[in-house]
Structure 1
């Protein structure tokens, strides 16, 4: 907070030239003594700020002072602005203020290079609001409660100490300590709803080495599978598999050798390709797909 106030003071002096300690104290809702301490700190940092007494006096910068932008290269200035804009997804009003002021000081127009919308395509529901709630709960160390649907479609109410937001592959996840399960868990944000911040606060008990990958490895067995995917399935292949796992065949189809979790999800994932996919190995997965297809056919023959 103090660093932000110091930056604001310099910005005001660069634009207003002269102001008073009283005006600054009222603006930042601090004491006049605090403002004078800030002025001393700026002066110690090499910024030529001074206070003059009498009529027309006040706090000023030397007339010929210009913020030394040469300390930062053109590339570094751009990186600062781009990094700040990437934080606008957190909807922190201070971020936009600082971004605007730095753009002015660097004499650069604000570049709108990124926008993050957490709602799914075709949806009216904007997940950005929930993202902001989660961000605030993490920063304030407040417990949250929400409704959650797991990968099996089971609905539950969770009470969690939120620790970190993670973007992995194609989705956002919340990492935290689940007070219902009494262990660390990772939750997919798209499966969360009715997120509420509780009044209770928590002390961060984050353990070393906890990650999304570690927890996923603990909960499921992974197997090697060999898939052949028709040319019309190419739009999904390079989104969902590593380039090193893909081989293009002469007929335009693709061979994919990868590792996938051996559970009910795998069967549904394979079927989501429709007729564009064939499981070549392992044999037990081929048989599982055949059984599921026969079950589907039987339903439609009734």
Structure 2
């Protein structure tokens, strides 16, 4: 990828000071002519590269620009090697070039830093996927990604939570990967919206471009949106007593249960706790799963519903 090569050229010139077109071409395994075109591209992009003629000539960065790049710390260099999950890169169609890019970066950094950079690569691996294979339908992701890059309006056929499909015209601002799930952040009717990409059944990029909001920062918006979503979730609190033998299960049985509070001065006694669910029925089904190892303290009317569900299970298996 050309962008990777341009970045590598900058790092090489930063670390080695001056290199001829031939040296750069050999390092990057391209032709001298390609390097000259790359230098034109860097110059056009505002990177101050200059060519010195003569016996000791070559390409270099303007000195004050080199000093700005020299401000990179070891932590900065290490962060370059904390690549996103391979699943994320694969979804975006970038996985095949990621390893090559990393190796080029490794070859370009100073020898004094290279060992520690290699250690980070060898010792830290980021895997954002879940234990079970994702069943997300990402057929529309490539088209959505194109619209995001090109700042073009997008027509989508979107399936709502109730199963109804609606056609929307949106202004795509960015993509967010949360675990194995991709979300499109876009503007529709002058409001920010989040769309789950797996629910986009059709996507068409329009020729019309749009202007991104001047102060929009995707990461900041997503954190705020996520917090607002959590705050809107319904809460149903239940006070219980838990037998110490199943206390560890409390944290692993369901990812949707929050342990708000637990109290116990004696590890051999029943433990009081407050559990938070999203709905009453969710609490009933969860508590039944603990059989005689969890007692309901409040709300008291929940007891009859737990008994009713337990009896229905017994009756079902008696038949």
User: TM-score, structure 1 length as denominator?
Assistant: 0.61
> CA distance change for structure 1 residues 229 and 237 in 2, over 3 Å: closer, same or farther?
same
- Residue in 2 that maps onto 1:19: 21
Structure 1 gap ranges (5+) = 44-48
Distance in 2, matches of 1:269 and 1:228, equals 14
Identify the match of residue 245 of structure 1 among 243, 246, 261: 261
Is 1:99 aligned with 2:105?
no
Is the contact made by 1:50 and 1:59 (CA closer than 8 Å) also made in structure 2? yes
What's the CA shift for 1:246?
A: 2.8
Identify the match of residue 257 of structure 1 among 274, 290, 315: 274
Is the contact made by 1:164 and 1:176 (CA closer than 8 Å) also made in structure 2? yes
What's the CA shift for 1:51?
A: 4.1
2:228 is paired with a residue of what secondary structure?
helix
Is 1:233 aligned with 2:235?
no
What's the CA shift for 1:10?
A: 3.1
User: TM-score, structure 2 length as denominator?
Assistant: 0.59
- Residue in 2 that maps onto 1:293: 310
Cα deviations by residue, 1:188-235 (Å, 9 ceiling, x for unpaired): x9xx57x656123596799979623434544x5323211233334333
Cα deviations by residue, 1:44-102 (Å, 9 ceiling, x for unpaired): xxxxx52437xx9984349xxxx8786333333323433xx235442134554443333
1:257 is paired with a residue of what secondary structure?
strand
Is the contact made by 2:261 and 2:275 (CA closer than 8 Å) also made in structure 1? yes
- Residue in 2 that maps onto 1:111: 122
Is the contact made by 1:245 and 1:257 (CA closer than 8 Å) also made in structure 2? yes
Is the contact made by 1:25 and 1:32 (CA closer than 8 Å) also made in structure 2? no
- Residue in 1 that maps onto 2:286: 269
Identify the match of residue 174 of structure 1 among 183, 192, 210: 183
What's the CA shift for 1:5?
A: 5.4
Distance in 2, matches of 1:128 and 1:232, equals 41
Distance in 1, matches of 2:146 and 2:287, equals 37
Identify the match of residue 211 of structure 1 among 225, 245, 257: 225
1:255 is paired with a residue of what secondary structure?
strand
> CA distance change for structure 1 residues 34 and 176 in 2, over 3 Å: closer, same or farther?
closer
Is 1:199 aligned with 2:208?
no
- Residue in 2 that maps onto 1:78: 78
CA RMSD, Structure 1 to Structure 2 (Å):
5.1
Q: How many equivalent residue pairs? A: 272
Distance in 1, matches of 2:187 and 2:70, equals 49
Cα deviations by residue, 1:151-202 (Å, 9 ceiling, x for unpaired): xxx75657676755364xx8857365799xx994675x9xx57x65612359
